[in-house]
Structure 1
Amino acid sequence: MKPAENYILDQPEPYKSILMHLQILIESTFPEVDLQFKWNIPFYYLEQKPFCYLNPSKKKGYVDVAFWASAHLTKYNEHLISENRKVVKSLRYYKLEDINEEILLTVLKEAHQLKGKGFYKKKD
């Protein structure tokens, strides 16, 4: 099992359920993603380029799905949170029921399209 998968399975509830649901949605929509464990969180790469990451904040009680190329995302911007971050924006979930699959998948698909337009850099 990958370190990122172990990390997800080791999380307390509700983080574990949220992370597992997000993992299923992302990996079933984009089977070519590569789940890695970077900076102590689950991080998805597409063609060796950062795509998005899953960041549970136990201190604040949510899970973020964060996007690198967020400045170029145009759909559902009213749901994307920047919160003092210059580059990254995220969709935030406090409980499993908060996940709106239509919004999440639309933003993921738009981020995926940006990958081919040079908005992502290769990992080191």
Structure 2
Amino acid sequence: MLRPIDEFFLQHDEQTNSCLQFLREYILGFDENISEAWKYQLPFYYYNNKPFCYFWIHKKFKQPYIGIENGGLLDHSQLLRENRVKMKILLVDPTKDIELETIGTILRDSLSLHKDKNITRG
């Protein structure tokens, strides 16, 4: 029997699943202190047991995205705030090459917030 987190990835079409699986491995390999959990009915990633990012599918654009915890503190042109207060999202088009440079920059900047302890979680 599959875990709910694995079912999340498999419920999507092949292109979206492949994209999400790649992002999953990329994020888990990005830093040894990043771990994966099934939280709020979605794949969530933690840095030193603090929320870091998550995956979801955008309802309007039908594209996967990486939700960046405390992304509101980051200033990147490709991050979207929409109606979120603390988080921003990065849409990922599964039909195109993944922009690893952009994703890496955003993840590094987000990690630096965690490492510098500039963020708080209540």
Q: TM-score, normalised by structure 2?
A: 0.85
The amino acid across from 1:88 in the alignment is: M
Return the offset for 1:22.
0.5
Q: Which residue of 1 aligns with 2:87?
A: 88
* Conserved? CA contact 1:49–1:120, under 8 Å: no
Which segments of 5 or more consecutive residues in structure 2 lack a partner in the other structure?
none
How many Å apart are 1:59 and its aligned residue? 6.0
Match of 1:121 in 2: 121
Aligned to 1:15: 16
Q: Tell me, yes or no, if the aligned pair for 1:55 and 1:63 is still in contact at 8 Å.
A: yes
Q: Give the 5 Å matches for 1:27-42.
A: 27-42=28-43
Runs of at least 5 residues in structure 1 that lack an aligned partner in the other structure:
none
Distance 2:62 2:42 in 1: 16
The residue type equivalent to 2:121 in the other structure is K
CA shift in 2, pair 1:42/1:78, >3 Å? same
Q: Is the 8 A contact 2:72 2:85 kept in 1?
A: no
Q: Displacement, 1:85?
A: 1.5
The answer to whether the Cα contact below 8 Å between 1:50 and 1:120 also exists between their aligned partners in 2 is no
Shift of residue 118 of structure 1?
Answer: 4.0
Quote how far apart the aligned CAs of 1:60 are: 3.3
Structural RMSD (CA):
2.0
Match of 2:74 in 1: 73
Q: How does 1:53-64 map to 2 (within 5 A)?
A: 53-57=54-58, 60-64=61-65
Aligned length: 120
- Closer, same or farther: CA 14–59 of 1 in aligned 2, 3 Å: farther
- Larger relative CO (CA 8 A, sep 6+): 1 or 2? 1
Report the residue type matching 1:64 in the other structure: Y
- Note if contact 1:15-1:56 (Cα within 8 Å) is conserved in structure 2: no
